[in-house]
Structure 1
Amino acid sequence: MSTEIAAWPPLEIAYQGDRLAGIDEVGRGPLVGSVVAAAVILNPAMPIDGLTDSKKLTARKREALDEEIRQKALAFCVAEASAAEVDTLNIFHATHLAMRRAIDGLSPAAEYLLVDGNRQPGHALPGQAVVKGDLRHHAIAAASILAKVARDAQMVALDARHPEYGFARHKGYATTEHLAALDAHGPLPEHRQSFAPVKRQLVLL
């Protein structure tokens, strides 16, 4: 059974079964916290309306779709690589580690992978990378939503512990507010020490 949506940009897929997993990540750019990846195998018998790139949705719509995906998907898994792993491996390799963890957490297992971006994450399963995949395939869009909701929730929880940094508002990105908080309060253990704005603050300590 084809997993394409006719209204979306054409996408040639070398697999026609029902165990196709879409994979996407959130959190490559922030200065703090984990990079979060999700893998989703959608159920062709239970379609979900409104799937698209998570960045194009309001927080309320993302959260509603997150719940629907979790209820209707054939399988899903959200995984992460920690800030310490980002510092050890670099963000590129940590992102692929999070993706492989998400893929390996699927039950039933995937047979084919569609990965957002221009590189596959080094998994043994066959698949293909899809540039702007969250706008080209509904399984990747679903993965982007699960990853975004999970990482945003982490930032809200971190904000509750450290409200002076404003994490609930900027989600860890290098905004003027975040950089000012780093200047005023210094880095937290959850900050990525290898990222330049954090590294500069550590040198000053």
Structure 2
Amino acid sequence: MMMFQSKGISIDRSQSKILGIILLCIFFISNVHAQLPIKIVNGKVTRDDGTFGKFQIQKYTPLIDSLNKNLKLNPKDTTSLFIRSTLYLFSNDVQSKPNQREKGALENLILAKDMVENAVSYGMQDLRLKILRAQIYRELVYRFTGDESWMFDSKQTAVRRKQFNNYKELVNKYYQELALSDSSRAYDYNKLKVTDVYPL
């Protein structure tokens, strides 16, 4: 096995490779955070990049590409899961896609939901992640509020009603948990709870 000698310290090639990967991950994580500035406002994760209105996703294409590549190599990287799900949310929320049935919005929010739940299951403890999770479920609920009877048959309606109620239950559960654990923002979290009922 090849060894590297430096001031009395022996480092084999495998250790050197691991160290390189760790340093690369640290660089990637710090770079990601720098490229997607976010803040918490009124109980929500919002972008802090100086832009307003509809999310300009093209501005973040290089970051999205980097995240997608990293997640293929490191599917349990919680930072990448968090940032990628945040980008999915910003580009598919009510502000960016106000039409409830706009093509791709529901599907992308489901991807965001799965990513954020994975980050939670892998042990990420960041408060912003918990806020993001509740926020994504709230946006999922919104996607069902425009349902009308002519759009679906009885079986489809039953499935969508069940999905709506499930998402609503989780939204309110997560906001209640946040209100208890982050009491300084309890008022904001309670305001964000969903009171809508499925329209069909």
Normalising to structure 2: TM-score of the pair?
0.28
Give 1 or 2: higher helix fraction: 2
Q: TM-score, normalised by structure 1?
A: 0.28
Greater relative contact order (Cα 8 A, min sep 6): structure 1 or 2? 1
Which structure: larger Rg? Answer: 2
Q: Which has the higher strand share?
A: 1
